[in-house]
Chain A
Amino acid sequence: MAKGSSSYIPMAVVLAAVLVAVSLAVFLIGGPRSGFENPMNISAFEQALQDSGLQTCVQGDVNWTATPGFVYGRFYEISSNCSTFDPNRPEARVWVLEFSNLEARDAAVRNFETSRRHIGPAIAWVKGPVVILVDGSQRTEVVSALREAVASIEAHRGGG
Chain B
Amino acid sequence: MSSGKSKALGVFALAMINVAAVLSLRNYPSMAIYGWSSIGWYLIGTIAFLIPLTLAGAELATGWPQGGGVYAWVREAFGEKAGFIAVFCEWSNNLVWFPTVLAFIASTFAYLFNPELANDNMFMFVVMMVAFWGTTIISLMGEQTSSRFGSFGVIAGSIVPAILIIVLGLAYWFSGQPISLPPFSWSATLPEINISTLPFIATVVLLFAGMEMAGFHALEVRNPQKDYPKAMAVSSSIIFLLTVIGTLAIAIVVPVDQLSLAAGLMQAFQSFLQAFNLSWLLVPLALLVTLGGLANLASWLAGPALGLGEVAARGNMPPFFARTNKNGAPTGVLILQAAIGTVVSMLYLFIPSISAAYWILSAMTVLLLCIVYLFVFAALIKLRYSQPDTPRAFKIPGGIPGIWVTGGVGFLACLITFVVSLIPPGSYEHVSTFTYAIVMLAGTAILALPPLVFLRLRKPSWNLQTKKEVQS
Which residues of chain A have a CB within 8 Å of any CB of chain B?
Answer: 1-2, 6-7, 9-11, 13-15, 17-18, 20-22, 24-26, 28-33, 60-70, 75, 87-89, 93, 95, 97, 101, 103-104, 106-125, 131, 133-140, 143, 147, 151
Contacts and interface: CB of A to CB of B under 8 A. Distances in A.
Contact of A124 (B182, B340, B427): B427
Interface string B422-450: 00111111110001100100111011011
A111 B318 contact: no
B263 A21 contact: no
Interface of B: 26-27, 30, 33-37, 92, 95-97, 100, 103-104, 107, 111, 115-116, 118-121, 182, 185, 187-188, 192, 194-203, 206-207, 209, 255-258, 260-267, 270-271, 282, 317-321, 323, 332, 336, 340, 343-344, 347, 352-366, 369, 417, 421, 424-431, 435-436, 439, 442-444, 446-447, 449-450, 453-454, 457, 459, 461-462
- The 9 A-B residue pairs whose C-beta atoms are closest, nearest first, are A30-B357, A75-B257, A123-B426, A115-B261, A120-B200, A140-B196, A114-B100, A25-B360, A136-B33
Contacts of A93: 33, 256
Given A110-B355, A117-B362, A121-B200, A29 B428 contact: yes
Contacts of B188: 88
A26 B354 contact: yes
Given A66-B115, A66-B266, A7 B426 contact: no
Most-contacted residue by chain A among B200, B364, B459 (CB, 10 A): B200
Contacts of A88: 35-37, 182, 185, 187-188
B465 to A, nearest CB: 15
A62 B96 contact: no
23 contacts: A2-B318, A6-B318, A7-B320, A17-B446, A21-B447, A29-B436, A33-B356, A65-B267, A66-B111, A89-B37, A93-B256, A95-B262, A97-B260, A103-B121, A112-B262, A115-B26, A115-B104, A116-B261, A117-B366, A119-B425, A124-B262, A138-B196, A139-B196
Contacts of A113: 358-359, 362
Given A68-B115, A136-B33, A116 B27 contact: yes
A125 B344 CA distance: 25
Do most interface residues of chain A lie in helix, strand or loop, or is the interface mixed? mixed
Contact of A133 (B37, B260, B449): B260
Contact of A22 (B34, B35, B344): B344
Given A32-B356, A110-B355, A143-B426, 4 more contacts: A13-B454, A17-B92, A21-B364, A31-B356
B209 A117 contact: yes
A124 to B, nearest CB: 5
Contacts of B260: 62, 95, 97, 112, 133, 135
A15 to B, nearest CB: 6
A69 B443 contact: no
Nearest to B185: A88
Given A137-B196, A138-B196, A114 B358 contact: yes
Contacts of A138: 192, 194, 196-197
